[in-house]
A and B are shown apart, each in its own frame.
Chain A
Amino acid sequence: MNEFYFIAIVVMIFVVIFQIAKASEYVSVLKGEEKSRKQNNKINGFLLITFLILGLLGAWYCNELYYGKTLFPQGSASVEGEKIDLMLYITIAVTGLVFIITQVLLFWFAFKYQEQDGKKAYFFPHNTKLELLWTTVPAIFLTVLVVFGLKYWFKMTNDPPKDSVVVEITGHQFAWDMRYPGTDGKLGKKNYKLYNQPSGNTLAVDFEDPESWDDLHTTEMHLPVNRPVKLVINAMDVIHDVGLSHFRMKMDAVPGIPTTMWFTPQYTTEQMKKRTGNPNFVYEISCDQMCGKGHFSMRGVIVVESQEDYNKWLASQKPEYFTFFPDKDPSKKALQLTDSASASKPMAQVMPNNP
């Protein structure tokens, strides 16, 4: 019944506006069409300049309301992201200036040069000097922005530093899975055809490859603070996207084509709780590429912590290999130790995750 009233009211409003509009046509005929046209012109001229003033005030008010809710007051959580923030501010300054100048001119001209009796428009078809001016000035500004932009772009897309922590992240409908290379610092091979062999092998890891034996499979990402991280990004089914808005990072996860990105977290989760004043703060991984019905709920969590806590966490994780082949687990069967010692030489290598 409520809906019925709602529709009735809307229809009523429509009819009323329509009737007023209809009546205004007759009124203008009675008043003289030329006269009412001129009156309309004045009203619209006035509305245009009002729109400009209220619009600029509105833009300022909107900024007051919402700037605090963006990620910029809290600063970038990664070292590289600070460059992006700086670029954003430079671009806002340049475009903001152009925005204000052009919008003010547009509405001011419209208001100032509205039709007046006896006034003639000025015949001004072209002026080469002016046109050259507004070809070159934007070109110069854009060159500056391009140079800045590309400098940072190349820096960020360059190879990651050699001592980076490597984490593999795999997207599937609708969750994220991480893999850590374990003590040998190398991720074992994968082959999508091995999916679910043995049962539960959701990442399709090839356990024939000895490098996979010490790999850790987790659903939460832990990272040490102040060390560069290289993410190796995969997808099982459709395209996903690893969106890390606090770190200002984003990269697609494409099935069949692994991608990478790297960054250096500079605040632990605990530090961010203080910086944002939000005790529930958590670094979230959002899926930023439409991936199906659960797209909006494809949430991952990153915990950034001190190197010490990170090492502790790593040590508490058990290699996935042992969950599938419990008989090979040295902690369970001391007998196996001697057998696997010769086979798993890489394990004895330098541990890059624990410098």
Chain B
Amino acid sequence: MSTVTAHASTHHEAHGDEHQEHHHHETFITKYVFSQDHKTIAKQFLVTGIIWAIIGGLFSVIFRLQLGNPEATYPFLEDFLGHWAKGGKLQPEFYYALVTMHGTILVFFVLTAGLSGTFANFLIPLQIGARDMASPMLNMLSYWFFFLASVIMMGSLFVQTGPASGGWTVYPPLSALGDASSGSKIGMDLWLVSMAMFVVSSLLGGLNYITTILNMRTKGMSMTRLPLTIWALFFTAVLGVLSFPVLLSGAILLLFDRNLGTSFFLSDIVVAGKIMPNEGGSAILFQHLFWFLGHPEVYIILLPAMGMSSEILSVNSRKPIFGYMAMVGSLFAITILAFLVWAHHMFVTGLNPFLGSVFVLLTLLIAVPSAIKVFNWLTTLWRGNIRFTPGMLFAIGFVSLFISGGLTGIFLGNSALDIHLHDTYFVIAHFHIVMGVASFFGMFAGVYHWYPKMFGRYLNNTLAYIHFWVTIVGAYLIFWPMHYEGLAGMPRRYYDFSNWESFKNFGGLNQFISIIALIVFAAQLMFVINFFYSIWKGRKVTNQNPWGANTLEWTAPIRPGHGNWPGEIPEVHRWPYDYAKDGKEFIPQDVPVGADESKH
């Protein structure tokens, strides 16, 4: 570790502080609220994401109470929820509202904005050697549009008819007709407007990330010397920029159908005894528009987790990532394929069987780049000298969950098998493991790994280890048995199974899952406490490069100011994965290549 400290300190001495941006005076408002510093914006995304995660997680705990004990009543629920939990029993409509909001919040507000919003903002300038984003102004707007979306979505929780309740996929006609469900009244309009704001936020962010990565790399930082985190965040931004507009169009058309009497998605409908005038629309069209975003969205969530885990696995194995070019290539392949598989969510909609077969082929093709990534991660661990920092444990957990959840994708991607498994608990188990929990693990890995850079302090290690072990054991206990419920044909989004001869056998299991969910949720609260406590009271970071990593962010001061490097931006001379090379433990990217250095 002495190499880097000595090297970075020469920067300080040589250039002093003249590049620190002290030409504008920062007030509290410009520094913490309407900040244009990418690091502050990243923290704003992270804190907002954490608040949303607590709300979204709490919703799942409440509806798991119902699923675990459909007969029980909880009088305290009525105190909070009023007529939504009459007599302490969750009403079906509110149960569905909770399920819908849980999905919406976790998918969009936490694992999209909270994950790539945080780490793209924080890591891109620091790891490519830039003082800030290409447009700090747009970057700030990106956060504030997200904030606006959050406020509207939050507001929809308090309207009298309740928030949207047609599932996070909001399929019309259910979501288009106020008569079909009380959640499809004003709550649904708010949902759509909030999502429109969210798309704007995501586009402003995405354009900025792409521009910054392409144009603002420091001297010597060629594309093939980018850390894998940056590659992953780059492809994430590309996915978002190309697919979110399609969701926006779907949302706007749905708003028209709801409020202006158009018939894009409606035809031949009699609802609540009323004959609707709409003719000629197609309910399936919306599903195409939705999943054209919806599937890339899965990778928008997953790629940043992959990138960060790759980086953290390499740093803490003290070994180069295995097959760097294959890792970049597989990210690229996943990005392309992500656009070509959306209809695998629609095998049972009456889709043309030939079209279905094309989507089967393309879907199962994704397993090839995924397999490459898994084997490369395994080989990265092989013959390493592994340190189990909390970040590293979460990265290992990520790989384990990605394998478990990825393999069940092979079941669901094969249309004939999907007929039986579609919309059952098997699907819930699959996507919660591979996209939900795995991405959360990538996010936790990132938080634990970069927390010292973000706040200049460490998180408490003991709490971190407890957090990891409770979460990974709990996640498997919750979602593994759900595969069996799915194989028994148990449908998703059921409020109560006790009237079904075919599905009532799993009452005990549902109870067990609910208890574990409560414990895992408590462990996440422990993390949140650790997170906020450590910002002010954590152990101070004294070492500029605490993990002994090669990437550029660790050459910046422990608490970098606006502009990141006080002196000149360091120049890059090598790729970021020179660990264990030529007998040296690690060689940071800004160290010039020695004359006698071996090539790889």
B568 at the interface (CB under 8 A from A): no
In the assembly, what is the distance between CA of A280 and CA of B393, in Å? 49
Contacts from A to B (Cβ < 8 Å): 3, 10, 14, 17-18, 20-22, 24-25, 28, 37, 40-41, 44-45, 47-48, 51, 55, 58-59, 62-63, 66-67, 69-72, 81, 83-84, 87-88, 91, 94-95, 98-99, 102-103, 105-107, 109-110, 113-116, 119-127, 130-131, 134-135, 138-139, 142, 145-146, 149-150, 152-154, 156-158, 172-173, 192-193, 195-196, 204, 236-239, 241, 243, 245-246, 248-252, 254-257, 259-260, 278, 280-282, 284, 286-297, 299
With contacts A149-B417, A153-B353 known, is A95 near B410, CB below 8 A?
yes
Report chain B residues within 8 Å CB of A72: 487
- Interface size class of chain B, counting residues whose CB lies under 8 Å from the partner chain: 35 or more
Out of B414, B500, B509, B526, which one reaches A91, CB within 8 Å?
B414
B135 at the interface (CB under 8 A from A): no
Chain B residues 479 to 528 lying within 8 A of chain A, measured CB to CB, are: 480-481, 484-485, 487-489, 491-497, 499-503, 505-506, 509, 522, 525-526
Complex contact A41–B388 (CB within 8 A) = yes
Stretch in B28-36, B39-47, B121-129, B357-365 with 4+ CB within 8 Å of A: B357-365
Complex contact A245–B382 (CB within 8 A) = no
Out of B403, B501, B526, B582, which one reaches A106, CB within 8 Å?
B403
Report chain A residues within 8 Å CB of B485: 66
Complex contact A98–B322 (CB within 8 A) = no
Complex contact A120–B583 (CB within 8 A) = yes
Report chain B residues within 8 Å CB of A282: 501
Complex contact A121–B580 (CB within 8 A) = yes
Complex contact A116–B385 (CB within 8 A) = yes
Chain B residues 343 to 382 lying within 8 A of chain A, measured CB to CB, are: 348-350, 353, 356-357, 360-361, 364-365, 367-368, 371-372, 374-379, 381-382
In the assembly, what is the distance between CA of A51 and CA of B376, in Å? 22
In the assembly, what is the distance between CA of A249 and CA of B493, in Å? 19
B132 at the interface (CB under 8 A from A): no
With contacts A14-B526, A67-B484, A84-B416 known, is A154 near B384, CB below 8 A?
no
Report chain A residues within 8 Å CB of B541: none
The 3 closest A-B pairs by CB, nearest first: A245-B489, A256-B267, A259-B350
With contacts A256-B268, A286-B500, A288-B422 known, is A121 near B326, CB below 8 A?
no
Write the chain A residue with the least CB distance to B523.
Answer: A17
Minimum distance in angstroms from B333 CB to a CB of chain A: 10
Complex contact B461–A40 (CB within 8 A) = yes
Complex contact B410–A145 (CB within 8 A) = yes
Minimum distance in angstroms from A337 CB to a CB of chain B: 35
Question: In this complex, which of A98, A142, A282 has the most chain B Cβ atoms within 10 angstroms of its Cβ?
Answer: A142
In the assembly, what is the distance between CA of A107 and CA of B399, in Å? 10
- A-B pair count, CB < 8 Å, reads 376
Known: A55-B476, A105-B378, A153-B416. 4 other contacts (CB 8 A): A62-B480, A107-B400, A250-B419, A295-B493
Report chain A residues within 8 Å CB of B375: 102, 130, 134
In the assembly, what is the distance between CA of A114 and CA of B349, in Å? 50
With contacts A69-B505, A121-B384, A238-B173 known, is A157 near B410, CB below 8 A?
no
In the assembly, what is the distance between CA of A37 and CA of B384, in Å? 18
Minimum distance in angstroms from B515 CB to a CB of chain A: 14
With contacts A91-B411, A145-B364, A236-B269 known, is A24 near B462, CB below 8 A?
yes
With contacts A69-B484, A124-B320, A142-B367 known, is A238 near B271, CB below 8 A?
yes
Minimum distance in angstroms from B495 CB to a CB of chain A: 4
B545 at the interface (CB under 8 A from A): no
Complex contact A149–B489 (CB within 8 A) = no
B262 at the interface (CB under 8 A from A): no
Report chain A residues within 8 Å CB of B410: 91, 94-95, 142, 145
Complex contact A257–B282 (CB within 8 A) = yes
Contacts from B to A (Cβ < 8 Å): 76, 91-93, 96, 165-167, 171-174, 177, 180-182, 266-273, 275, 279, 281-284, 317-326, 348-350, 353, 356-357, 360-361, 364-365, 367-368, 371-372, 374-379, 381-388, 393, 396, 399-400, 403-404, 407-408, 410-411, 414-417, 419-420, 422-424, 460-463, 465-466, 469, 472-473, 476, 480-481, 484-485, 487-489, 491-497, 499-503, 505-506, 509, 522, 525-526, 529-530, 539, 577, 579-583, 585, 600
Complex contact A153–B360 (CB within 8 A) = yes
Complex contact A251–B348 (CB within 8 A) = yes
Complex contact B378–A45 (CB within 8 A) = no
Minimum distance in angstroms from B36 CB to a CB of chain A: 36
Complex contact B381–A146 (CB within 8 A) = no
Complex contact B491–A114 (CB within 8 A) = no
Minimum distance in angstroms from B437 CB to a CB of chain A: 14
Complex contact A102–B323 (CB within 8 A) = no
Write the chain A residue with the least CB distance to B387.
Answer: A115
Minimum distance in angstroms from B404 CB to a CB of chain A: 7
A sample of 10 inter-chain contacts (CB < 8 A) reads: A10-B522, A18-B526, A48-B396, A121-B579, A124-B320, A125-B321, A288-B424, A290-B174, A292-B96, A292-B166
Report chain B residues within 8 Å CB of A94: 410
Write the chain B residue with the least CB distance to A284.
Answer: B502
